Amino acid sequence: MASYRKQQLSVLTMNTVGFTACFAVWVMFSVIGIPIKTGLSLSDTQFGLLAATPILTGSVLRLPLGMMTDKYGGRPVYFWLMASIIIPLFLISKATEYWQFLVLGLFVGVAGASFSVGIAYTSRWFTRETAGFAMGIFGAGNAGAALTKFVAPTILVAYGWEMVPVIYAIAMTLVVILFWMFTYSDESHKVESSVTVMDQLRMLKDPVVWKYCQYYSLVFGGFVALSLWMTKYYMTEYGHGIQDAALLAAIFVLPSGIIRALGGWLSDKFGAHKVTYWVMWSSAICLFFMSYPLTEISIATRDGDPITMTLGVNEYVFTALLFVVGIAWGFGKASVFKYLSDEYPDRIGVMSGVVGLAGGMGGFTLPILFGVMLDYTGVGTTAFMLLYGITMVSIMWMQWSGESQRDREMRKQFGPDVME
């Protein structure tokens, strides 16, 4: 028993370290993309596409790699995933054309699929009562985005942006070696060989899954999108240099990643539905104020001298609201996967792949839409207007669908007071 406990902790630790490294690589263009944008004279839409390109492959591959984890085990799938990104990561330092960055970004984006592999690999080592907390700890690897905010600008200023992917490639090589040394396999964690791809995909007919996809496209997709966007936003809207802008963006990114473990614990204790409910309403209130652009109103008076009022959110209030949104989404990322571990414990790999795909696609499409809306309107806060609208859709869906499927089944089986 002690040996198994030791293996549990070792697997959880190395999974989290690997996911942190992968996430740092996944959002690397949020920092190095800024000097690349300047050097290549890119538009905001082109910058959004550049930053989002790695998110595409990381999202699309989440489902097949989640299924492979169910079938072959997490250790080999995770190892080869991380090893596969080292060479294209290094080659980014040699790229000079826009299309080269896009192509290499697609290959490096495989790092984003580490989530569905790691979440399935982690959850198999823990019971249902502790899975939420364990997955929350693993999900804290989202803080890899904050690691990029701290490390990449320092390297960029000292040695140039080209050195960032080189150092990241060296670091990833070390992580891969340590991962293989300190992780384990358990044959009982694999899905029976008789289970086919079609058997796994058949679960997609469950309409409840798509509700969780909607939630995750906001709390995770929005998190990824703002991780990619906020450094540039602070530079253009408030006039900060790249290092200060990245540090301010980390005020959103770092707590949102670390707090996920607490979100898992709260979801274990109070249920995924209650936690997600408060996540959505907190997000809606903050995003409503953040989306309000700087506005000047001139009021005509009787004596002919107009009264001019300026409406908007200053930098300090904006940053405070951004911090609250980050905390809320950190809880939400954990609570959505608590839904999945409760309702689909035997298919967590494929379910995490599906929901992770939806979240990743949100992270891919949102930065592009941010750029398009900014190019079209010239209003910087349009990104938060869009996120506010998505949040309200999630709230309406939650109000319409009510409690989770598992809650309804428990009420039906044990009576109306069982969830009190």
Structural domain containing residue 140: 2-414
Region of 271 please: left (phi>0), alpha (psi -120 to 50) or beta.
Answer: left
At 413, is the pLDDT very low, low, confident or very high (cuts 50, 70, 90)? very low
| CATH code assigned at 312 | 1.20.1250.20
Which pLDDT does position 348 carry in this prediction? 67
Q: What is the pLDDT of residues 198-215, one digit of tens each?
A: 655 666 677 778 888 889
Residue 155 lies in a domain: yes
At 29, is the pLDDT very low, low, confident or very high (cuts 50, 70, 90)? very high
Which pLDDT does position 419 carry in this prediction? 40
Which pLDDT does position 126 carry in this prediction? 84
Percent of the chain at pLDDT exceeding 90: 51
Q: Report the amino acid identity of residue 378.
A: G
CA 111 to chain CA centroid, Å, is 12
CA atoms of 361 and 225, how far apart (whole Å): 10
Residues linked to residue 296 through DSSP beta bridges, in sequence order: 310
At 32, is the pLDDT very low, low, confident or very high (cuts 50, 70, 90)? very high
Q: What is the pLDDT of residues 85-117, one digit of tens each?
A: 999 999 999 999 999 999 999 999 999 999 889
Tell whether pTM > 0.75.
yes
Residue 420 lies in a domain: no
Report residue 162: phi and psi, to 5°.
-60, -25
Q: What is the DSSP string of 23-48?
A: HHHHTTHHHHHHHHHHHHT--HHHHH
pLDDT at 82 > cutoff 60: yes
At 325, is the pLDDT very low, low, confident or very high (cuts 50, 70, 90)? very high
Which pLDDT does position 98 carry in this prediction? 96
CA atoms of 320 and 317, how far apart (whole Å): 5
At 305, is the pLDDT very low, low, confident or very high (cuts 50, 70, 90)? confident
CA atoms of 390 and 411, how far apart (whole Å): 30
106-120, 167-181, 339-353: the lowest-pLDDT one: 339-353
Coil, helix or strand at residue 295: strand
Residue 195 lies in a domain: yes
Rg (alpha carbons) of the chain, rounded to whole number? 22
Residues linked to residue 311 through DSSP beta bridges, in sequence order: 295
- Looking at the structure of the chain, the number of domains it has is 1
The position carrying tokens 């997609």 is: 204
CA atoms of 333 and 394, how far apart (whole Å): 14
Q: What is the pLDDT of residues 306-317, one digit of tens each?
A: 888 777 788 999
Which ranges of 182-314 would DSSP assign to H, the alpha helix? 197-201, 207-219, 221-238, 242-258, 260-270, 272-290
Which pLDDT does position 342 carry in this prediction? 78
At 80, is the pLDDT very low, low, confident or very high (cuts 50, 70, 90)? very high
β pairing state of 307-311 and 295-299:
antiparallel
Residue 105 lies in a domain: yes
| Residues in Cβ contact with 82 at an 8 Å cutoff, skipping those fewer than 6 apart | 18, 21, 22, 111, 114, 172, 175, 176, 179
pLDDT at 370 > cutoff 60: yes
Tell me if 239 sits within 8 A of 316, measured CB to CB.
no
| Residues in Cβ contact with 184 at an 8 Å cutoff, skipping those fewer than 6 apart | 7, 10, 11, 75
CA atoms of 382 and 389, how far apart (whole Å): 11
At 411, is the pLDDT very low, low, confident or very high (cuts 50, 70, 90)? very low
**Segment of 187-201, 233-247, 250-264 carrying the highest mean pLDDT:** 233-247
Residue 419 lies in a domain: no
- Nearest CA among 74, 143, 167 for reference residue 113: 74
Name which residue leads in pLDDT, 228 or 300.
Answer: 228
At 197, is the pLDDT very low, low, confident or very high (cuts 50, 70, 90)? low
At 381, is the pLDDT very low, low, confident or very high (cuts 50, 70, 90)? very high
pLDDT at 361 > cutoff 70: yes
Which pLDDT does position 71 carry in this prediction? 81
pLDDT at 412 > cutoff 60: no
Coil, helix or strand at residue 308: strand
Which pLDDT does position 414 carry in this prediction? 41
